[in-house]
Amino acid sequence: MNNEQFDLVIVGSGSGNAIPEYLSDWNIAIVERGVYGGTCLNVGCIPSKMFVLPADAALAATNGAQLGIDTQFNGADFPAIRDRVFGRIDEISASGREYRATGSPNVTLFEGTASFVGDKVFHVDMNDGGQRMISGDKVLLAAGARPVVPQISGLTEVGFHTSDTIMRLDDLPQRLGIIGGGFIAVEMGHVFAGLGSDVTLFNRSNTLLRGFDEDIAARFTELFAERVNLRLGVVPTHVERTADGIALTVGAETVIVDELLVATGREPNSDLVDVKSGGIACHHRGTVVVDDTMATNVENVWAIGDIANSYQLKHLANAEASVAFWNIAHPNDVRRQSYKAVPGAVFSNPQVASVGLTEQEAVAQGLPFKVGKRDYAGTAYGWAIVDESSFAKVIVNTETGLIIGAHILGPQAASLIQPIIQAMEFDQRADDVARKVLYIHPALTEVVENAILEAL
């Protein structure tokens, strides 16, 4: 088998597809094992948020009375929602693939699974059944991650969905079971409950969003329990398909659902790429070890995104891609990726956003700090939206005066946290952020201002 040589081999077409113009004269190979465009575009953040919007609208329609208006939710046309989402996304994916396959003269697209067989040498098991051997002077690993499937008796035989498939159902299930309590579980729980499904969620932990600040996790769990049937501290021990549906055994209880979503996390695809055969070091959870230049322990091999970090955030993967591509092309002018203020958001209902340390992490690190916490209900816009449950929480280091963490639960949380992200990244003191800029009145940003002021 001939070994095809390239200047650069990219494994993965998500953030790895963002090839900059300054590499237009390089001979580049892209290898993609699945649908072109990666997780975010096809099965992740973009389609899921397009489903969240109609679920938010449906939920708002049921709460009109608190605003003095008579609105109601009469049901969802799930196929129409699905087709609106994927009618746009599938076209983008297909056009991206077509461009790389036929419209990029310096790029060769290999559709298959690449695995290392030596130093920067790959065997590609093509999706059409063929076999190829390729190698690169330089390599960028951007192969992403895939859903974890827990060891539950009967699960693999019964037929279940992951985040890769749940959004393409033909119809809205009357009863949906979800195993998991992280961001995918609660986003999809919100979507299907909002659109009319009877959702039962099973989670091993006693709270949802366990990795978040404890105040956030506790409040979110309390509010989510008002809309979703929660079975906390337990997971099904057996699953089987019956005439009535999918039967999940939980202790002495049996719960029947029509469809089952498994959302117990995602694992990096480093094993599929067989990075060990390429001499590349991994952490114990399988993520590739990289430094802040995105370089691995093997010279001229870089890695980005879900295969290289545990954040599993598209905005971080894109930033890492920008750094990696620059360093690949400019070895004498190295750039570095900052991880000082990596934010994340959960687009469920309520919405959650977080950046920096939780209060519990600050305690564990022995840092001197003070917490500022303010409710939406303490602001004029909070009165307008009749919000009695949402809040913003800010953690300030009392020695440095810097914000070291922020956590927001409620409407627009992912937008409200943005000025704090900037303050943390550029070491702006909390006092300056709160007192030396104007906050529009009566905008919801006042809850952030007030939380910082309370911490001071």
| Catalytic residue IDs | 441
CB atoms near residue 229 (< 10 Å): 16
Strand 3-11 relative to strand 28-32: parallel, antiparallel, unpaired?
A: parallel
Cα separation of 22 and 116, whole Å? 27
Asked whether the CA dihedral 291, 297, 300, 302 is positive or negative, the reply is negative
Cα separation of 413 and 350, whole Å? 9
3-state secondary structure of 103: helix
Cα separation of 166 and 159, whole Å? 12
By residue count, the chain amounts to: 456
Cis peptide before 350 (omega within 30 of 0): yes
Of 237, 9, 341, 332, residue with least CA distance to 142: 9
Question: Distance from CA of residue 211 to its chain's centroid?
Answer: 13
Please, what is the angle between helix 183-195 and helix 214-224, to 10°? 20
CB atoms near residue 107 (< 10 Å): 22
Cα separation of 328 and 34, whole Å? 25
DSSP secondary structure code for residue 283 in this structure = -
Cβ atoms 365, 382 nearer than 8 A: no
Cβ atoms 58, 73 nearer than 8 A: yes
Both tokens assigned to 213: 């600040």
Cα separation of 376 and 300, whole Å? 50
Cα separation of 339 and 267, whole Å? 21
Cβ atoms 202, 178 nearer than 8 A: yes
Cα separation of 77 and 195, whole Å? 9
Cα separation of 331 and 334, whole Å? 6
Both tokens assigned to 90: 């599938």
One-letter amino acid identity for 350? P
- Residues in CB range of 337: below 8 A, 6 or more apart: 292, 293, 294, 319, 320, 323
Phi, psi for 246 (deg, rounded to 5): -90, 120
